[in-house]
C-alpha cells in the first residue's frame, strides 16, 4: 500500500465515525473489500490488531515504511553502497 491509499483510508476513518468503528470492530474485511488493495495489502490490513485508529495508522505506516525501504534497497546499485 502506498501513502496515497493510506491517506485516503485514514482520512475516511477520521471523518466517518461509522467507517472508523467498522475498521476496529472485526468488520474490516467487509469494509475494505471494494478498496483497491492488493491481496498482500489486504492480508496485512486484516492481520493488524488495533484498538484505536491511531494504533491502526501507526502499524500501517510502519509496514509502508518497511516496504518502501525494501524497495529502495532492491533498487540501490551495489556500487553506491561500496561493493
* CA dist 31 → 50, 74, 76 (Å): 16, 33, 37
Q: What would the mean pLDDT of 25-52 be, rounded to a whole number?
A: 91
pLDDT band, very low/low/confident/very high, at 41 (cuts 50, 70, 90): confident
Q: What is the span of the domain harbouring residue 70?
A: 3-75
Q: What does the alpha-carbon distance between residue 34 and residue 19 come to, in Å, rounded to a whole number?
A: 13
Residue 34 scores a pLDDT above 80: yes
Q: What would the mean pLDDT of 8-36 be, rounded to a whole number?
A: 93
Name the pTM for this structure.
0.75
Domain count, the chain: 1
Q: What does the alpha-carbon distance between residue 44 and residue 41 come to, in Å, rounded to a whole number?
A: 5
* CA dist 70 → 47, 66, 74, 76 (Å): 20, 6, 6, 10
Tell whether 42 is covered by a domain: yes
pLDDT, residue 81, reads 59
Tell whether 54 is covered by a domain: yes
pLDDT, residue 13, reads 93
Amino acid at each position: 500500500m502506498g501513502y496515497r491509499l493510506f491517506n485516503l483510508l485514514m482520512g475516511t476513518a477520521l471523518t466517518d465515525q461509522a467507517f472508523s468503528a467498522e475498521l476496529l470492530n472485526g468488520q474490516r474485511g467487509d469494509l475494505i473489500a471494494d478498496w483497491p488493495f492488493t491481496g498482500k495489502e489486504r492480508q496485512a490490513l486484516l492481520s493488524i490488531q488495533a484498538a484505536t485508529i491511531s494504533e491502526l495508522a501507526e502499524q500501517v505506516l510502519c509496514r509502508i515504511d518497511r516496504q518502501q525501504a525494501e524497495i529502495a534497497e532492491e533498487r540501490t546499485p551495489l556500487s553506491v553502497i561500496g561493493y
